[in-house]
Structure 1
Amino acid sequence: MKSLIALPILLLLPILATAQHSYVGIQNSTRKSMVSVMMNPAEINNFDRKVEVNFVGVNALFVNNILSFSDLTSIQENLLEDLMSKANTQVNGDTHGSALLPSFGINLGKWSLGWANQFNSRVALHQINPDLGNSVIRSASASGGTTYQLSNPNNQRVNGVMWFESGIVVGRELINNANSKLSVGSNIKILVPVNYTNVGVSQLSGTLTVQNGVASLSNASGTMNLTYNRDIIDARNLRLDYSNLEINSPSSVGLDFGVNYQAKKNGKVWINSGISVTNIGNLKFGTSNVSNNLRINIPAGSSFRIDRFDLDLENTLDQLTGSGFFTLDDTQENIQVGLPTTFALYSEIKLTDQFFVSAFWQQMVKNQDKNNQVPFVNVFAVTPSMLFGKFEVFSPWGYFQISELTGGLGFRYGGFFLSSQTVLTSLLANRGTADVQMGLSWGFGQRRQ
């Protein structure tokens, strides 16, 4: 069962270098780039120069509600085991990131066009019961006997996803005069799914007993979902076979759209605000990805061991259905997985020629409990920044849905930036969040007015 919980993490971490999340801080910089366009496609109308080229952008974040920063740095082996053993509340965690690949935008008068390429990946733990998680993971080393009464109406999920997207960005100025500028933009994206894994247990009630290294569930009911890529699991030797992992063909279309408004004073922008909705659409996987839904019914007086499963989820499925306690309701191929559709609202204010402050709010608009839904971490952030010519220093302060308060620091010189949304609170307040953001872009051509 430990393998069941750890599987999405094992599937992604070997190739996880960077799911998509905002570049909090730098995306609201005074210098607009393709990073800003990923937040709101209408920002393609606000580049300083005629052409803007993004060479690379990396954003990686780990956030959780249990472990502190010192815990993260001191863990030598099993992060998942430490996470469960220290928990006294539902466990939530998210490891995600994005790699913004070579992309560009160009201004053509009132119109602007661009091409944006991005790779996304995510591993998430969602509302895991600590008694269940800790007992399952640590049952092999447990001694004596412990009994837990489980009653969890929510869907406890372990989830992993990877996909690539390539989009055509179109922007249009609607109004542009000495006092204001109003523009719109959209990013129409071709989606290329790579992998999706989900283990979900919903409406679970029952008795969990850990006795001398054996974890058993009895008098239990609920539902269970197992979604995985059959081509990755090598049933012959119970290992992950990445030689079979292939990028699927483009399967569907996604959409971002946004509106941007600028207020000007003496021809200079002093307020830049926007609204956007991003990641509208679904990832459509082929026949290699399969979703199995089961009903759990373990009557009183009977028990089922949950500590003997392995990485071969098809073998695990056979064990579950063969026990007589798990009934397979349906199996689906060609599954569709909802993208993390989010709503964002932001405003950037120029207080002096050198001092700026921005506020940014991003909220997911879909139900994160669904097994066929990529989850997301909501965030609100305020970022003061100081500008000295081409050099900018900024400090994003945010409230993340999982880890709450974060504070970071970053700098930009021209088109190069390096920052962290969390470094200050991680080091000074020992918060359990860590991240890094880095990128390089360059503007070419005539400077725009």
Structure 2
Amino acid sequence: MKRTLLLSLGLLATSSYAQEHFSGINTSRRTGILNASLNPAELVNLKNDNEVNVFTFSANVSNNKISFGDLVGGEDLGNLIFTGSEPVNMRADVEILGPSFAMKYDKWAFAVTTGAKIKASLVDIDVNLGDALANSGVDALLGNPVYINTDYNQRAASTAWGEIGFSAAREIFENDTHKFSGGATFKLIFPGTYANMSADKFNGTIEGVVELNSQQQVIDTYVGLTDATANVNLAYSGALGDSFTDSSNFSEFFAGGLNGFSADLGANYQWKNENGGYNINAGVAVRNIGSMTFKDDNNVNKSYEVNVPNGQYLNLDQFEDVDNIDEVEEILVNSGYATLIESGKDFKIKQPTVLSLYADANVYNNWYVTAYLQQKLSDASENNRVGSQNIFTVTPRYSTNFFEAYAPFSSNEISGFTAGIGFRIGGFFIGSGSILSAAIGDTTQADGYLGFRFGF
């Protein structure tokens, strides 16, 4: 699959956006709906009796190959992405929290939230395979074949969906020193659009092919795949079935109707101080427990066993201008080297389930330090899952009732170390988890967020 097919999906991730969204502000002592999206038990700690979220937006892109300096420096990304020996991993993620409302009543708290999410990823793409397909021409491969031997699933996937959440939390125990609470969020999921292409256990040889006629005249040249085997999955639903290179197709958040459910479960503990605040605010939550089913009229979910005998060739140049998965399937089927082994119409995609742990400690006066850990509970290489990543963040902050400044320092599974900064003035906030590391050095992550909410 040549440059258009591989890089359109890969670079789509770098141009759009489960990372850690709202790094630093989601554990703010000015507790609101955003905190409850991290842990529903936080609702009982609302700063105001009632809160309205007007609009909140976060975009996050991370990878293990292309740095921020490469992007602004005009480097050839097609060459950089397939350097080194480590497989290519990229995550692009957008999260929108729309109009939402929360309230406290006695020992209870409730919330109704709306939101939308976009996720795109490249998972464990072999660099030799990617470089041969995206960058190498016939001349470079003549006499210099590329041998691929992988025992894992290589995957390019994208999806978008909408959510409506209903949350409830209750104070379980409280005295002058300690406070315990628990909460849950039940989310209705509206699948929008989806696309997945994967090749499991891909083995083969890629080389330049020169075809001659009986007079030894050249009649064709192309990049060919031979002596190859792989298990290929091709699946799509909604707008991404028409084109995976058109970014506007990701805006179909609620197109599939109500066809999924998920839940967040959490617990919270506070060690209170004499000033009406806390010495420590800690929580644990398991989020995104559930799945969504795609039932669009254009659904396709097929698995093929690909077998190209030694000495015979699958012409990879055919994939040069491919714009959708249907075209990929047509080329594979017409080649005669792909055998259908499984076919279905409706398919279920599991949500990116994660475990979140955090603790915010009051160090001195208005100075606080937060530690946050996100541990993924699913394997992003599986075809029926939305991926996420492991993250650890430490955030020192200065926080008053009206103003807050903080700097999150993170270790991300894919992009490594990042450092950012953020500010809150009243109910408005803006920040980034990587802008400092981008400014003072090189980073393979770019992200930013902003939002406005008010309480009464």
TM-score (normalizing by structure 2): 0.90
CA 1:178/1:60 → structure 2, altered by over 3 Å: closer, same or farther?
same
1:4 partnered with 2:17:
no
CA-CA distance at 1:210 after TM superposition: 4.2
What secondary structure is seen at the aligned counterpart in 2 of 1:57? strand
Match of 2:38 in 1: 39
Separation (CA, whole Å) in 2 of partners of 1:93 and 1:264: 41
CA-CA distance at 1:338 after TM superposition: 0.7
Separation (CA, whole Å) in 1 of partners of 2:356 and 2:116: 21
Letter in 1 for 2:86: T
Letter in 2 for 1:347: A
Separation (CA, whole Å) in 2 of partners of 1:289 and 1:351: 54
> Is contact 1:24-1:421 (8 Å) kept?
yes
1:381-400 matches, within 5 Å, as: 381-400=393-412
Match of 1:180 in 2: 178
What secondary structure is seen at the aligned counterpart in 2 of 1:281? strand
> Is contact 1:20-1:122 (8 Å) kept?
no
1:422 aligns with one of 407, 427, 434? 434
Separation (CA, whole Å) in 1 of partners of 2:38 and 2:247: 35
Separation (CA, whole Å) in 1 of partners of 2:138 and 2:195: 28
CA 1:316/1:89 → structure 2, altered by over 3 Å: closer, same or farther?
same
Q: After superposition, what is the alpha-carbon deviation per residue over 1:403-441, rounded to whole angstroms, capped at 9, x for unaligned?
A: 111111111111111111011111212111111011111
Q: After superposition, what is the alpha-carbon deviation per residue over 1:364-392, rounded to whole angstroms, capped at 9, x for unaligned?
A: 10121111111112211000001245211
> Is contact 2:137-2:208 (8 Å) kept?
no
1:31-430 matches, within 5 Å, as: 31-75=30-74, 79=77, 81-140=78-137, 143=140, 145=142, 146-210=144-208, 214-229=222-237, 232-233=240-241, 247-266=255-274, 267-287=276-296, 288-309=298-319, 310-430=322-442
- Report the count of equivalent residues: 438
Match of 1:447 in 2: none
Separation (CA, whole Å) in 2 of partners of 1:133 and 1:41: 42
CA 1:234/1:351 → structure 2, altered by over 3 Å: closer, same or farther?
closer
Separation (CA, whole Å) in 2 of partners of 1:289 and 1:19: 25
CA 1:361/1:243 → structure 2, altered by over 3 Å: closer, same or farther?
closer
> Is contact 1:19-1:120 (8 Å) kept?
no
Separation (CA, whole Å) in 1 of partners of 2:372 and 2:28: 12
Letter in 1 for 2:42: E
Q: After superposition, what is the alpha-carbon deviation per residue over 1:93-131, rounded to whole angstroms, capped at 9, x for unaligned?
A: 111120111111100111111011111001111111111
Separation (CA, whole Å) in 2 of partners of 1:110 and 1:131: 59
CA-CA distance at 1:203 after TM superposition: 0.7
CA-CA distance at 1:44 after TM superposition: 0.8
Letter in 1 for 2:328: T
CA-CA distance at 1:232 after TM superposition: 4.9
Q: Which runs of 5+ in 2 are unaligned?
A: 211-220
Q: After superposition, what is the alpha-carbon deviation per residue over 1:78-101, rounded to whole angstroms, capped at 9, x for unaligned?
A: 75x244344442111111120111
Larger fraction in strand: 1
Separation (CA, whole Å) in 2 of partners of 1:107 and 1:240: 40
Letter in 2 for 1:258: G
Separation (CA, whole Å) in 2 of partners of 1:243 and 1:440: 24
TM-score (normalizing by structure 1): 0.91
CA RMSD after TM alignment: 2.5
Letter in 2 for 1:53: V
Separation (CA, whole Å) in 1 of partners of 2:359 and 2:248: 47
CA 1:233/1:389 → structure 2, altered by over 3 Å: closer, same or farther?
closer
Letter in 2 for 1:4: L
CA 1:185/1:233 → structure 2, altered by over 3 Å: closer, same or farther?
closer
Separation (CA, whole Å) in 2 of partners of 1:311 and 1:171: 47
CA-CA distance at 1:22 after TM superposition: 3.0
Separation (CA, whole Å) in 2 of partners of 1:43 and 1:239: 39
Match of 2:217 in 1: none
CA 1:29/1:234 → structure 2, altered by over 3 Å: closer, same or farther?
closer
> Is contact 1:233-1:311 (8 Å) kept?
no
> Is contact 2:193-2:240 (8 Å) kept?
no
Range with bigger deviation, 361-370 or 339-348 = 361-370
Separation (CA, whole Å) in 2 of partners of 1:94 and 1:411: 25
Letter in 2 for 1:353: N
> Is contact 2:138-2:209 (8 Å) kept?
no
Separation (CA, whole Å) in 2 of partners of 1:367 and 1:353: 42
Separation (CA, whole Å) in 2 of partners of 1:11 and 1:423: 21
What secondary structure is seen at the aligned counterpart in 2 of 1:301? coil
> Is contact 1:196-1:289 (8 Å) kept?
no
CA 1:26/1:234 → structure 2, altered by over 3 Å: closer, same or farther?
closer
> Is contact 2:139-2:208 (8 Å) kept?
yes
- Identical pairs, percent: 29
CA 1:13/1:227 → structure 2, altered by over 3 Å: closer, same or farther?
farther
Separation (CA, whole Å) in 2 of partners of 1:277 and 1:157: 26
CA-CA distance at 1:34 after TM superposition: 1.1
1:12-23 matches, within 5 Å, as: 16=16, 21-23=20-22
CA-CA distance at 1:265 after TM superposition: 2.4
Separation (CA, whole Å) in 2 of partners of 1:82 and 1:56: 38
Q: After superposition, what is the alpha-carbon deviation per residue over 1:196-218, rounded to whole angstroms, capped at 9, x for unaligned?
A: 11111111112122468732211
> Is contact 1:118-1:166 (8 Å) kept?
yes
What secondary structure is seen at the aligned counterpart in 2 of 1:316? helix
What secondary structure is seen at the aligned counterpart in 1 of 2:109? strand
Q: Which runs of 5+ in 1 are unaligned?
A: 445-449
What secondary structure is seen at the aligned counterpart in 2 of 1:227? strand
